[in-house]
Amino acid sequence: MDDRPAEIVKFDNVGLRYGTDPEVLSNLSFTLYPGSFYFLTGASGAGKTSLLKLLYLAQRPSRGAIRMFGQDLITMPRQRLPDLRRRLGVVFQNFRLVPHLTAFDNVALPLRLAGADDKRVAKAVTDMLDWVGLAHRAHAVPASLSGGEQQRVAIARAVIARPRMLIADEPTGNVDPDMALKLLRLFEALNHRVGTTVVVATHDVHLLKKVPDSLIMRLNKGQLSDPTGALRYPPRPAAPAANSQ
């Protein structure tokens, strides 16, 4: 009997090209399981952002098959994609906060899109901003926030709707090492205490050692390698409890 948990994401021989250019991702086949913490590494231009775009549904692959939360993304009509997107939390590389909305309204967006009532939104957003240490900046617009503060607003927005998978693209790229570590701890807390699957793209190899339970996927020129056994199941021989839900 197969006792594997239902996969969050399954890629099968996926390729991606933009227009008529050569493929930026080739023959990607892997599975992401619930409650795991993955680092996606690789040099600049290796294809990390392209892979993340496939994961957060900003792009369809040029070939191959992708299943997410048990559903086939290739044949899924676009009007059903918002339902899947609401199960994801995304921290974009450049934060992508809505520039004329306050920190409060930016964090509130996923809940408002989902139809949560005002009372619930107000409490959840206030608590979340407090959690990331920005309660006092709730009414500030992104332009008046520092890079680290914007990053924390982006993270608060990504996690407020309790995503089943959190995807972060170079989330520590614009912050100092102390802040980078704090942000990583936020992701770990979400992963350990809520069970959210986390995928963090980074080219900072020092970061990988900071999260001992993490699994590593390495991209090189659009091809995926598997230095820690992340692409097998169980993900690695001595998988920690946190990763084997």
Partner 1 sequence: MSLPTPPLTDAPPAAGAAGADALTSWTLGQKTAQLLPSTRFAGPIPWVIAILIALVVIASAGGLALGKLANSARADLSAAVTVQVVEPNPNLRSVRGAEAVRVLTALDGVRAVRLVPEAELAALLEPWLGEGAGNGDVPIPALIDVELTRSAGPADIAAIEAALKDTVPGARVDAQSDWLRPVYNALAALQWLALGLIALVALATAAAVWLAARNAFAGARDTVEIIHLLGATDRQISAVFLRSVLREAAFGAVVGAALGAGAVWLLGQQFAALDSGMTSGGGLGLGDWLVIAAVPLAGVLIALLTARITIALALKGML
* Sites for partner 1 among residues 167-206 (CB under 8 A): 181-182, 185-186, 189-190, 193-194
Residue from the set 12, 27, 34, 131 that interacts with partner 1 by CB under 8 A = 131
Q: How far is the CB of 98 from partner 1 (least distance, A)?
A: 5
Among 5, 118, 212, 232, binds partner 1 (CB under 8 A): 118
Give the residue with the Cβ less far from partner 1, 43 or 113. 113
- Give whichever of 46 and 154 is closer to partner 1, judged by the CB atom: 154
Edge-to-edge strands of the sheet including 25-32? Answer: 25-32, 9-16, 63-68, 71-72
Alpha-carbon distance of 165 to 150, in angstroms, equals: 21
Length of the chain measured in residues: 245
Q: Which listed residue (18, 74, 80, 227) binds partner 1 by CB under 8 A?
A: 80
Nearest CB to partner 1, comparing residues 131 and 233: 131
> Under rule CB under 8 A, how many of the chain's residues touch partner 1?
51
Lookup: tokens for 182 = 């704090």
Does residue 75 bind partner 1 (CB under 8 A)? no
Interface with partner 1 by CB under 8 A: which residues? 56-60, 78-83, 85-86, 88, 90, 96-101, 105, 109-116, 118, 120, 123-124, 127-128, 130-131, 157, 159-162, 181-182, 185-186, 189-190, 193-194
